[in-house]
Each structure stands twice: as C-alpha cells, then as structure tokens.
Chain A
Amino acid sequence: MIQLSHAADALLDRCLARCNERQAPQSFGSFFQHAVAQALGCIDRYRGCYANPGAGQPDVIAGDTGFEVKTHMGVSIELTGNYASIRSQYARFRLIFLRTDLRPFQLGVLEVPETVPQRVNLGAAVAEGLKSDTDLEGQLGNELSTTLEAVGTDWSDAPSPAQAREVLQRVLRR
C-alpha cells in the first residue's frame, strides 16, 4: 500500500467530508472511481481506458484488464456477488482500493487471481495467494496525486459525482 501526496490526500479527505455532510457517504466511492479512471488513462498501458457504470462489469475497463475500484473502511473486504463471472471475462484483473479508515488514506492495487477469494485482506501483509501490483500501485499513486492536484477543490467540492467527473474532463482536457 502507498499513500498519495499530502495535497491529494487533503483533497480526498475534503471530498469525503463533503459527501458525509450531504448525508451521502457512499457517493465518495463514485468520486474516487472517476478520478482513478482519469489517472489510469494517463498511464501508457491503460491509455483509453473507460469507466463502466453498469452492473456485471468491472468499474474500469482497459483492453483485457478489468479494474474493480473500492473505497473501504477496514482491514479486510468481502468480495461477494458475481466477481467470479466478471473475473473470468478478463485476462488480468486488478482490485484498486483506498483504505478510508486510515489517515493518510492508503492506496493499494491487488492482482485478483482467477479463483476469486471470498475475503481479501487489505492490510500491510497481503493474504496468501494474493499479490500486490506494486508497479501499478506506484504509477497510479503518482498519476492520481497529479490528477487530483490539477483539479483541486473544483473536484472535491463538486455537488455530485457526475459534476465532479465533468470537472475532471473540463479542467484536464483543455
């Protein structure tokens, strides 16, 4: 696990606080998902990736790689649902998570094996049978920090995830 730059961390913290103020803590996940999709798009290998809001598909898709993006409070997470069938459609599958119970937030990228485990440990030690994608973790950390710092409070204070995504597109693509 790595932590983002302190500036990016401050923006994420502010975004989460705003979501909590609006009584919509779950919307923080969508905010984060869009930012991750934007940052992933800045990495050569995943250029052209896109976020997929539909059910039954990974959160972000980049060619033969699927990404599940999670914000989570706690040291372990249950992968319930149809992860096995989603996983089977992609050659590579990554779980990108943000530990929101820690300050600074901790970002991690796990390689999800073909046999999807029921429970995944998001702590300092990776559970047996799982592996961290440390390269992507580092790259994504840098890109996500840069992306968030570029959009700043325009993004964190956006009233909804959809508007935050608009901010990302407007500010970063001009």
Chain B
Amino acid sequence: MRVAKVVLGKDNPVFPGTLTDLQDADFIIILGPNGSGKTSLLSPFRKPGSMGRVYGLDADHREEELTSSTQYQSLTFIASQALMEKVQNLRDAIALASDSPRVQQESTVLQLCVRQLESSGRPQSDEPPILRQLQRAYLDLDARCGGIRRTTETYNALGRKLASACGRHWNGFEPRSDLAVSLEASLVPAFAGVRGFQECAVSLQRLIGFARDTGTLGSPAQRLRSAHEQLTRAVDESCTRYRLTSVGDCPAVVSQLEHQKQVTQELIDAKDRLSACRRAALKYLAGIPSTQESRAPCPVCEQDMHVSQVLTRLSEQGQREGSGADQETADLRALIVEIDRSLHLLQGRSAEHARCLQNALEHSEKLKQILQSVLSRLTPADGWDPWFCDALADLRVEIERWLVAHSDATTAEAERQFGQIASLAGGIDDEGQLRERRLRNDHEPLLRDFDQFQRLGCLLRARHELNAVVYRLDVGRHEADLRRRQQLAGWTQLIARMAEERRVQAETDRSQALDTPEAQGAFQRLVTRFAQVDPWLAGLRYDGSEDGRKNPYLRSVDQGENVLKLSEGQTVVVNLGAALTVAGVLARAGSGVPWVVLDEPTNALDQTSSNAVADYLGSVTMRELPCQIVVSTFDEKFAIRLREVATRVGRTVRLVRLNHHARGGTPAERGLRFAGIETYSPQRP
C-alpha cells in the first residue's frame, strides 16, 4: 500500500495541514526554506500520533492508516544527522531484514518461560524450621556424650550409682532417710529423664554440697569464704578508723589550756598593778617631811616603819624588779602564746575528731549489716558435714553476741571483737577449703559421674523436645508433587530446546542475511555510483566484518586495508548507500516497509556531491527500492535535479513547495502554507 495522505496533528508546530493525492508519486520532494515546516511535515512518518498520521488507500480506495513498525523506524526515516554521524551498522540492519530479531525475541521469551517454570517447580517443604535447629542442637549434645548409652535406663542406672556412692561417702546420710527416698524417687524420670534429671540434680546438690553448674545452693566452704572475705575487708576498714579516733579527749585538754591561759593573764595583770602601786608609794613617801618620818605605815605592807627605811626597801625592790621581774613577765607572755598555739591545734583536731566520730557511727551501722548478712547466709543445709555445722554455729553465736553488745555505736572494743569474729571465720574458711579439697580428691570419680549425669540429662531433654515436634511427611502428596515436577521438567526441557533452536536459527539467519551476495552487491552498486563524487569511494567493499563498536569495516580495494575514517561528505554518501541498501533489502523481503524518508540528505555536501546524490537517488529503480521515497530539502537545485533524473528513469514525482509559516497567531496563520504542489510524470524516451 502506498502513501496517499499526510494529516498533521494538533501537537504539530505547523498544524493544521494536510497533504493529499500522493498515492501515484514514486518520489515526494518537499522543497522549502529553513523554517517552512519540512521536518514537521515529515514527523508523522517517523512516529504517528499527535504530530500527525499517514494514510494509504486500499484496493477499494478506502483510507487506511499506515505505520512503520517500531523496529524499522530508524531504518526508514533517515535524518541528515544520522547520515553525517557514523557509518550505519549494516550487520544489525541486514539482520533486521532477515527477520532474525523476531526469532531471537521468541527465543528470549521461551528462555524466560523456562526460568519461570523452573522457579515455580521448586519443591516446597512443610518441614518446620525448628526441626532442623533442634536436630543440630541434639547432634551437638550427643557428640559430647561419647561412650555413654543414651537411654533412660542408662540415665537412671547412672543416677542410682551416683546416689549410692554419695550416701556412702557422706556422714549422716541414711539410705532409708527421707532424702534418700526422695532422691530415689526423682531418679525415675517423668519425661524421658527431663524432670527427673532436674530434681535429681537438686537433691544431689543438697546431698553433696558441691557447687556444680545446675545447683542453686553454694557449698559451705564457699559461703564461709565469701563471709570471711567480707569480714576481713570490714576489719581492715575498722583498723584505719580506729587510728583516727585516738584523739578522743581533745575537748578536756582545750578546756584545761584555756584555764591556764586565763590564770597566766591574771598573773601578768596583778604584777602590773603591783608595779603601779609601788611607783605611787615612792612618790607619796618622798613627799613626807623629815620631822614626820619618825614612824609611818609602809604603803606596801602597811607596817609602821621609818620612812627612810621604807624608801630604801622600795628602792631595793624596784631595783630587783628592774633586773628580774621583766623577765618573768616575758616568760608569762610567751606561755600565753604557747597556750594559744596549742588551743589552735586542738581546735583543728577537735573538728577532725567530730568527723571521725560520725564515720565511726556509720561504720558501726555497716558492720552490723555485714554481720547480719553473714549470719543469714550461714544457715547449714540438710546433710552438711557436722564439722561445718558446728563451726558455723560457733560463728553464729559470736556474731549474735556482737550484735547484741554493740547495737548502738562503735567502740574500740567492738572493733576488736569484730576482728576476732573475722579471724574465727577465716580459720573455719581455711579448714573448710582444706576439707573440700580433700573431699574433691576423694570424690573425683564421683564428680566425673556427676558431670556425665548432667550431660546425659541435657541430651535426654533435647531428644525429648526434638521428638515432640509434630511433623509427618505426606508421602502421597510428595509423590504427586514429584510427578508434577517431573511433568514440569519435561515441559521445561522442551521449551528450553525450542528456545535454543530459535536462538540458533536467529543466529544463522542473521549470518546468512549478512553474507547474502544480494545485500553486499546492492551496497556495492549503490556506492559505485558515487564515483563521480570521489572515485575512491567506488573501490570500497563491505565484507561483513565489524570493529569493536559494531561499526562495519569498509575495505578499500585499492589499498587493501580497512577504512576507519571518512570525511563528512564521504560519510554521508556511504551512509546513504548503506541506508538504501538496508531499506531495499527490507522492502524486497516483504517486511512491509512502506516508505523511505530522507530529511535533508544534502547537508554537509558541496554542490558536486549534492548533484551526485540527486543523480544517485533519482536513479534508484523500483527494483532496487520497491517503495515510495520522500525527500525534504531546502536546495532547489538539488530538488530540480532529483526530479529530472527520477522522471527520466520512469518515476512519477510530486514536488511540494512550502512557504515560511507564521509562528503563533491563529491556527490559520500558523498552519502549513503551501507555495505550490506539482506533479511530474515519467518522461517517455
């Protein structure tokens, strides 16, 4: 079907516009200056839609929309840019012509089906994940029970042996006692040894008193050790504290010193007063007349004396004071200074003492707490060694006594007694450790049995939990699933084989199409026509090989080497030849290629080359390219020459001339503006 009409869409920049009556034209040449809307008019050929649509006429002259399939669009619409950019990929282009992409696509779809079928055919297990986890845990535990028979009977036998051995070794344990009965009872496990194991373990702990992993009770020796350590720390703290509290009588000393200072000061004051009195007496006596001096009372001692004698005595006394009394005063004053210094020191120590006293009170409270805590932990368990029980009883008595006697505040005596308690605990601790070591040595085989007993108990518990998982394989369903998978596998194989066959076929078709002498010959013939542009071009050969980027190697016949670089003009020419070769192959292969559009094919060409292209395009015969050719150009010379050559070789040409169209404005103003439409019939020789 041939193109009859082009209708521009509303999104087209030159909308509205319609080009009609094209069905008889072999060549449609769109001629117009730049900006006249040539490319816009051609856009429906590239991609129909809102830019416009292309219609043809069927046998009954009914309009029918024509489209170029997506995969051929790049081959049937050749823009100038594409012609200038690179040598077209002939391999892919020719492969398209061979229809191999469709076969390849089929192969890909089939492979996708295979993958989907394989993934959907995977068996889905209903097995609970916990089953595998428990199995691993069980196997790990089992591996640790080397050499033990892993049965409940073994477990019970081991437990009985252990209980019996413990009983024999321990003082006070009666085989028929309540403890023995409960131990025996606990050895009969309720849940394959799980509960029995736990109960038995506790009983054994109580019986033996050793600290083992599963027990909650500590050994007596361990308890004593921790108590002793706690007491020792407390005693160390007490010793430090006691040294600090040795300044206990400070306030009395301070009081005594203050009294002494007061007395000394009073002595100094009295002495000063005496000196003043003596000076006054001398002055008084010196004023008494000699007649009256026969007898007068002494101003100092108030005895009747001759004044001259009194004067003499006072004078002598004054001399004595001058030589010695000052020294005495100085001594007294020094004493006061000393007393002040002592008072200062004592006040400091008194404050320190107050702090110590507070600490001692707090410490005393702490000691009480320690002893109470130790006391609560030193309760002997049933069946413990009597020696331990007696020792603990002594210790308890001592502690209780201390607590009663020193419930209020700490004293040096309390600290001392506390130290004695710690020492007693230490002694018991040492003895306890000694006994425990001895006991451990004696009971080494028993302990090994106990370890084994523990491991076996854990293993039995794990086995019980594992076996309690409810999961049963539905074999019937599994087999049905298996049959379904086998059926699926058969289909998958079949489809995979078909996919592979198509892949090989596509490859073969592609290769054969490329190697077709027809395709290579067509290219050669087309390129040869450019000899007038450049004779060198006529010597180019395409042998089907490609470079790393899938560009075809063009081999120069003369120089015998690959041509990697072409000038711009040469590139346009070679690309044009290649494009028309591909389009020709496609059209002849009946692939439904409806047209070949060339948008400005003469870009980058000089006039000679442009003429050559016009000659070349115009001379393409219907046999070489059995479809309509649409060419747009701004070059009127090229258009005229193309028209002339085409009509000369017997093709009908429709020349559409366009004017500038107005941008913006009303639709009528901006629409496609035809300057003329001419039809040229083939020239008859």
Binding site for B on A (CB under 8 A): 1, 3, 5-7, 9-11, 13-14, 75, 102-104, 106, 123-125, 146, 149-154, 157, 171-172, 174
Count, A-B residue pairs, CB within 8 A: 71
Q: What residues of B have a CB within 8 angstroms of the CB of A153 in the complex?
A: 139, 142-143, 146
Distance A7 CA – B150 CA, assembled complex (angstroms): 12
In the complex, which residue of chain B has the Cβ closest to the Cβ of A2? Answer: B472
Residues of B contacting A172 with CB < 8 Å? 149
Add 4 more A-B contacts to A3-B473, A6-B134, A152-B143 (CB < 8 A).
Answer: A6-B131, A10-B466, A11-B139, A150-B151
B463 within 8 Å of A by Cβ?
yes
Find out whether the CB atom of B127 lies under 8 angstroms from the CB atom of A75. Answer: no
Q: Are B138 and A7 in contact (CB under 8 A)?
A: yes
Cα–Cα, bound, A11→B475 (Å): 21
Which chain A residue has the least Cβ–Cβ distance from B153? Answer: A150
Residues of B contacting A150 in the complex (Cβ-Cβ under 8 angstroms): 149-151, 154
Given contacts A75-B482, A124-B479, A174-B149, contact A7 B473 (CB under 8 A): no
Subset of 10 A-B contacts with CB under 8 Å: A3-B473, A7-B135, A7-B467, A11-B139, A75-B479, A75-B482, A103-B125, A106-B475, A150-B151, A153-B146
Cβ-closest chain A residue relative to B472: A3
- Contact: A123 with B139, CB < 8 Å? no
Complex interface: chain B residues within 8 A of A6 (CB): 131, 134-135, 466-467, 469, 471
Top 6 A-B pairs, shortest CB-CB distance: A10-B135, A124-B476, A152-B142, A124-B475, A153-B142, A153-B143
In Å, the complex CA distance between A6 and B127 comes to: 12
The reply to whether A123 and B475 contact each other, CB–CB distance below 8 Å, is yes
Q: With a CB–CB cut-off of 8 A, which chain B residues contact A154?
A: 146-147
Contact with A along B459-487 (1 / 0, CB 8 A): 10001001101011101101100100000
What is the minimal beta-carbon distance from B469 to any residue of chain A, in angstroms?
A: 6
- B residues in contact with A106, CB < 8 Å: 473, 475
Asked if B145 is at the interface (CB within 8 A of a chain A CB), the reply is: yes
Q: Residues of B contacting A174 with CB < 8 Å?
A: 149
Interface positions of B (Cβ within 8 A of A) = 125, 127, 131, 134-135, 138-139, 142-143, 145-147, 149-151, 154, 459, 463, 466-467, 469, 471-473, 475-476, 478-479, 482
CA distance A149 to B475 in the complex (A): 24
Q: Which residues of A contact B145 (CB under 8 A)?
A: 152
A88 to chain B, nearest CB (A): 31
In the bound complex, CA of A5 to CA of B465 (Å): 11
Closest-by-CB residue of A relative to B483 is A75
With A75-B482, A152-B145, A154-B147 already in contact, the answer to whether A102 and B475 are too (CB < 8 A) is: yes
Q: How far is the CA of A152 from the CA of B150 in the complex (A)?
A: 7
Closest Cβ of chain A to B154, distance in Å, is 8
Contact in complex: A149, B139 (CB < 8 Å): no
B457 to chain A, nearest CB (A): 15
Asked if residues B476 and A157 are in contact (CB atoms below 8 Å), the reply is no
Q: Which of A13, A102, A153, A174 has the most CB of B within 10 A?
A: A153
CB distance from A156 to the nearest CB of B (A): 8
Nearest B residue to A105 via CB reads B473
Given the known interface contacts A103-B127, A104-B473, A152-B142, the answer about A7 and B147 at a Cβ–Cβ threshold of 8 Å is no
When A6-B134, A7-B467, A14-B139 are in contact, do A102 and B151 touch as well, CB less than 8 Å? no
Known: A6-B134, A123-B479. A171 touches B469 (CB 8 A): no
Contacting residues, chain B, for A1 (C-beta < 8 A): 475
A5 to B468 alpha-carbon distance, docked (Å): 9
Contact B463 A7 (CB under 8 A): yes
Report which of A11, A102, A157 forms a contact with B478, defined as CB distance below 8 A: A102
Task: Tell me, in angstroms, the Cα distance from A146 to B139 when the chains sit together.
Answer: 15
Q: Considering only CB atoms, which chain A residue lies closest to B469 in the complex?
A: A6
Q: Which B residues touch A124, using CB under 8 A?
A: 475-476, 478-479
Interface core residue of B142, B467, B479 (most chain A CB under 10 Å): B142
Q: Complex formed: what's the CA distance from A172 to B149 in Å?
A: 7
* Distance between B455 CB and nearest chain A CB, rounded to angstroms: 12
Q: Is the CB of A149 within 8 A of B476?
A: no
In the complex, how many angstroms separate the beta carbon of A12 from the nearest chain B beta carbon? 11
The smallest C-beta distance from B124 to any residue of chain A, in angstroms, reads 13
Least CB distance from A3 to B in Å reads 6
Of B143, B471, B472, most buried by chain A (CB within 10 Å of CB) is: B143
Cα of A174 to Cα of B471 in the assembled complex, Å: 34
B475 CB contacts on chain A under 8 angstroms: 1, 102, 106, 123-124
Chain A hits for B478, CB < 8 A: 102, 124
CB–CB B139/A10 < 8 A: yes
CB distance from B233 to the nearest CB of A (A): 49
Given contacts A75-B479, A75-B482, A149-B463, contact A10 B138 (CB under 8 A): yes
Residues from chain A with a CB closer than 8 A to the CB of B479 are 75, 123-124
Whether the Cβ atoms of A151 and B138 lie closer than 8 Å is no
Least CB distance, B465 to chain A, in whole angstroms: 10
CA A164 to CA B143, docked complex, whole Å: 15
Asked if B473 and A103 make an inter-chain contact with CB atoms under 8 angstroms apart, the answer reads yes
Give the Cβ gap from A16 to chain B, nearest Cβ, in Å: 13
CB distance from A29 to the nearest CB of B (A): 21
Task: Tell me the complex Cα distance, A104–B469, Å.
Answer: 12
A106 to B479, CA, bound (A): 13
Inter-chain contact A149/B135, CB cutoff 8 Å: no
CB distance from A54 to the nearest CB of B (A): 30
Chain A residues within 8 Å of B467, by CB? 5-7
Instruction: Write out the residue numbers on chain A whose beta carbons fall within 8 Å of the beta carbon of B472.
Output: 3
CA distance A104 to B125 in the complex (A): 11
From B154, B463, B476, residue with most partner A Cβ within 10 Å: B463
Minimum CB–CB distance from A76 to chain B (whole Å) comes to: 11
A25 to B463, CA, bound (A): 27
In the complex formed, the residue of A with least CB distance to B150 is A152
A167 to chain B, nearest CB (A): 9
Complex Cα distance, B472 from A1, in Å, reads 11
The closest CB in chain A to the CB of B146 belongs to A154
Asked whether B143 lies within 8 Å of A157 as measured between CB atoms, the reply is yes
Q: How far in angstroms is the closest Cβ of chain B from A110?
A: 14
User: Which chain A positions have C-beta within 8 A of B142?
Assistant: 11, 152-153
**What is the CA–CA distance of A145 and B185 in the complex, to the nearest angstrom?**
27
- State how many angstroms separate the Cβ of B158 from the closest Cβ of chain A: 13
Nearest Cβ on chain A to B663's Cβ, whole angstroms: 77
* A-chain residues with CB within 8 Å of residue B149 when the two chains form the complex: 150-151, 171-172, 174
Q: In the assembly, what is the distance between CA of A1 and CA of B138, in Å?
A: 25
State how many angstroms separate the Cβ of A52 from the closest Cβ of chain B: 26
A174 to B150 Cα, complex, angstroms: 13
Separation of A172 and B469 alpha carbons in the complex (Å)? 27
Tell me the bound Cα distance from A151 to B154 in angstroms. Answer: 12
Separation of A3 and B131 alpha carbons in the complex (Å): 14
Identity of the chain A residue whose Cβ is nearest the Cβ of B132 in the assembled complex: A10
Instruction: Please state if B135 and A102 are interface contacts (CB–CB under 8 Å).
Output: no
Nearest CB of chain A from residue B141's CB, rounded to whole Å: 9
Within 8 Å CB of B151, what residues of A? 146, 149-150
